[in-house]
Amino acid sequence: MSNKHLFSIVAAFLFSCSSLWAQNVSFGNDIAVANTNHGRVRGLIQEGIYTYKGIPYAQSKRFEDPQPPANWEGIRSALVYGPVAHLMTPTAVANDESEFVFNHSWGYPGENNQVLNVWTPSITDGKKRPVMFWIHGGGFTAGSSEELPSYDGKNLSKNGDVVVVSINHRLNILGFLDLSAYGEKYKHSANQSLLDMQAALTWVKNNIENFGGDPDNVTIFGQSGGGAKVNALMAMPSAHGLFHKAINQSGAFRGASATTETTRAVTEEVLKNLGLDASTVDQIQTIPWEDLRIAGNKAIQTINERLRATGTDTGVFGYNWGPSVDGAVLPHDILDAESLELSKDIPLMIGTVKNEFFTTLWRGIPNNDQAKVDEFIAQQYKDKADAYKKAVKKAYPHLENPGDLVDVDLLFRPGAVHQANVKSSIKDGADVYMYFFEWSSPVFGGKYKSMHCFELPFVFDNVAECYGMTGGSNENTDAVAKQVSGAWINFARNGNPNHDQLIEWPTYDQKKTQTMFFNVKSHVGPQHDKELLKLVSSN
């Protein structure tokens, strides 16, 4: 080896070390060692926050109920994220610009993905901190706890003196294939993904005091599919008592959960595609993942075609893997009276972002082309086109471009308003707080606006780390982050999001509809889009 080569290696090593020192990171054999019921784990300390990744909270055979993880001897290293769920459609190509904005981390897939991560200010001071239990998005088919840089819990834990927990769990066909007709061990297979979340919450109940957390003050929060999972947990009798507050971010949808009739029809198609029947069904537990994936995708396509042929509304995205009313894990639909009664004592914060998926960027309409916008509105709303434009302008009086008329979200917002209305109307029920995130990103000339996921860097106070999405840390983004992150922290602490850097946020009820509009200068007001949502719902 030449001296020049040796010098390069030494220089690279010293640079790496200096980067770690600059970040104030400590790790080693005897650093950040914590106890769990199944063995000891070793993490690291970064900027004063103890961090643990990839801790197993459960184990299971394919399509069977989660069981406690196997105990281990010695100290288990917990320095990197654990396996993520397999994707039904693996990512092969990504758009360079949008991938820069979102900056996904796809992780490495594996079926033993029942793992969680913990960020905490201390494991030795005896304090019992609020626990913020994060559930990732991606519908019920994709995503992971490491997918977006905004999910990192260090800043949230540090700024709020809270314990942050995030999880991976079974998804798609492995989390929702309904084999209940084929034996007792598959009794709950239609909702195994939900049982994984329950198992993770049970781990929190049994272990989080070892990480400085309070098992009697747990807030579940999630965005998009994660928000839908929050709703599902609130409707699960077996999860009752494992959490005490809930936050649903862009995850409320109108529409009923799947029925056993539909989920079993999907299973019949999967088995047919695999060449299996009742006598050979157990072979599905060992069939290679790729064969299972292909069979599952084909089955979902078949069922969607069948449902559409009968006139069944399958929604914007079509029927896909997700929770179903199975009479056991989920005995009633999510917003049925019985489910609402079960969760009546759970305070709820709920809201959406202004544009979600529906920016002109994704519709393919030039933002400043009035003719194209008018044509689109006429196709969508026909004789109500003029009424639609009038309603949008009333709800959003400060529109700047023609494209702004078709950018506002009308998919997630109606469900959030409906859920806030029914939840807040429960007699003697817990408080409801409604928000609307309207801050727009300046990146790439502002074309991404206030898009789906764009509130996440502010919730976790990771605006600097998510510069592709936020434009980086500056006076404006830092101001929004302080307002939003502080609200989430205080809600987790005591069920009330108010704090000294935010104007007063009143509770929501169906009459006053008081809503927090998050922006650089946030404001509170009544629901701004009643006429628009009414018009769209009748279209």
What amino acid is encoded at 447 in this protein?
K
What amino acid is encoded at 209 in this protein?
E
Token pair recorded at residue 414: 């109606």
Residue 26 annotated as catalytic: no
Token pair recorded at residue 511: 């009459």
Rounded distance between C-alpha atoms, residue 264 and residue 191, angstroms: 12
Sheet holding 348-353, edge to edge: 25-26, 44-46, 49-56, 115-120, 163-167, 129-135, 213-223, 245-249, 348-353, 432-437, 515-518, 523-525
- DSSP category for residue 335: T
Catalytic residue among 146, 209, 356, 465: 356
DSSP string, 391-430: HHHHH-TT--SGGGGGTS--SHHHHHHHHHHHHHTSTTPP
Residue 455 annotated as catalytic: no
Single out the residue of 524, 503, 513 nearest to residue 413, CA to CA: 513
Catalytic residue among 60, 157, 193, 224: 224
Residue 5 annotated as catalytic: no
Look at the block and give the residue holding tokens 């600059």. Answer: 22
Contacts of 87 (CB under 8 A, 6+ apart): 109, 141, 142, 172
Contacts of 239 (CB under 8 A, 6+ apart): 194, 197, 198, 201, 233
Single out the residue of 360, 362, 380 nearest to residue 370, CA to CA: 360
Catalytic residue among 86, 169, 244, 452: 452
Look at the block and give the residue holding tokens 């982050």. Answer: 481
DSSP string, 5-62: HHHHHHHHHHHHHHHHHHTTEE-STTSSEEEETTEEEE-EEETTEEEEEEEE--B--T
Residues forming the active site: 224, 356, 452
